[in-house]
Amino acid sequence: MVEDRMNSKSLPPLNWLRTFEVAARSLNFTKAAQELHLTQGAVSQQIRLLEGHLGVALFTRLPRGLALTDEGMSYLPVVQDSISRLAAATNELFSQDQRTPVKIRGSLSFFVHWLAPRLTDFHALHSNIDIRYISSLWVKDSEVDDDFEIRWGSGQWPGYVSQRLSWDRLFPVCCPDLLERSPIHSTSDLSGHTLLHVLGYEEGWGYWLSMMNETRVDPSRGMQLDTLLASLRMAELGMGIALARSSMVEDMLSDGRLVAPLTEQVEASESFYLVQRSGKTLSVEAHIFLDWLERTLRAK
């Protein structure tokens, strides 16, 4: 590993790469100098320095112009792509006329199954407001930049104000094909199927089965997954039975991707909440999003 680092080629200065890109595009040092607002001598010098740094010739000097060597032709698209990506990221992150996005962090499952289908309405009303939703799977030391957070819980978090977004019931779901192969008529029939568990949820299969007074099904068996999104996808693929939260499966039940084999349901004591820091000053855009969300909830 140390030897690999010692033998690796260090990155050349960005201005050398930019000069190479312009010169390679025009195949003329004079035109490159005009575009870069440099002298022709400065362009030639930077190309020589770059070639010396890389240890290869990038241009072949011809009587009437330039041609790229094989190494130069291979290097050019790499340099162009890197400069293009850097320019795009710089413009996106630091543009002075950039619009202020509404920054939300939270459950990926909630975004996919609840918020995303409703954002089409928000965009139709406020196409000038950008949404930046970051999954809580991404680790972040500080939340000061976020306007809102989506959390699953009781709604009580010190230092935060919260607004309830869902009123959930818990019940088993699976794909229709699985049910045809192995019908489920009662809770005891679940013993013949793989239970799909979601890590981190207190009200999981053990809780649901205990509320059903079902002792013939072992709640410790099955597949462990880290998101509800993953468990619903596995259920859709016929890999087992997921314990659904009602707000997350409305569309999947209505279009037949999932079915609820049993009528038994349990009221969830926890729900999804929109959370923000107490006393945090929201941008105009964040206030508009919050007003829209409140109207959407009242219309349910």
Tens digits of residue pLDDT in 119-145: 999 999 998 899 999 887 654 544 557
What pLDDT does 5 receive? 39
Strands (E), the chain: 59-62, 65-68, 102-106, 131-135, 148-153, 160-164, 169-173, 195-198, 223-225, 241-245, 266-267, 271-277
Pairwise CA distance, residues 277 & 256, whole Å: 39
Pairwise CA distance, residues 293 & 173, whole Å: 28
- Per-10-residue mean pLDDT for the chain, 300 residues long? 50 92 91 91 94 94 88 92 85 66 89 90 91 72 73 88 91 94 93 91 91 93 91 95 93 94 92 88 90 85
Yes or no: domain 169-269 corresponds to CATH 1.10.10.350: no
Q: Following CA atoms 184, 186, 192, 193 in sequence, which dihedral angle do they give, to the nearest 10 degrees?
A: 60
Q: Look up the CATH number of domain 2-94.
A: 1.10.10.10
Tens digits of residue pLDDT in 57-107: 999 988 888 899 999 999 999 999 898 888 888 876 776 555 678 999 988
Domain boundaries, the chain: 2-94, 102-164+272-298, 169-269
Q: Which CATH architecture has domain 102-164+272-298?
A: 3-Layer(aba) Sandwich (3.40)
Does 169-269 match 102-164+272-298 at the fold level? Answer: yes
Pairwise CA distance, residues 79 & 221, whole Å: 53
What pLDDT does 90 receive? 80
Pairwise CA distance, residues 176 & 55, whole Å: 63
Does the pTM exceed 0.85?
A: no
